Structure 1
């Protein structure tokens, strides 16, 4: 996985945390849900990248 992908995933997750927090503070359930969804999306992308890396490492040996 490239460092750029790591940064993008971390930024997306951080953005989701901010959205979720703002949604909680403003009592905006939709924004809170969007934040949680953004975080989940970033986690799924990260997991996919980890699988690709593991497969690449397995075949490189």
Structure 2
């Protein structure tokens, strides 16, 4: 099951990768750093989404 955090996390990872690559190509260190930061934010959001899914799954199993 996919939740909002997982989807947003993937979006931030993709956007971050794009910014980071653009920064490297253009020599713009600030853009490169922003991209890396956004990518890390996406990693954290995806991790939070996975935790949410596990908690929901556990709760659903315990209700049976």
TM-score interval for Structure 1 and Structure 2 normalised by the shorter chain:
0.7 to 0.9
Following TM superposition, the consecutive aligned residue runs of length 4 or more in structure 1 with deviations greater than 4 angstroms are none
Query: What are structure 1's unaligned runs of at least 5 residues?
Result: none
CA distance in 2, matches of 1:21, 1:31: 9
Residue-pair matches, total: 60
TM-score normalised to structure 1 length: 0.83
CA distance in 1, matches of 2:50, 2:11: 17
Contact 2:6 2:45 in 1 (8 A): no
Root mean square deviation, CA, Å: 1.5
TM-score normalised to structure 2 length: 0.80
Higher RCO (C-alpha under 8 Å, 6+ residues apart): 2
CA distance in 1, matches of 2:8, 2:48: 14
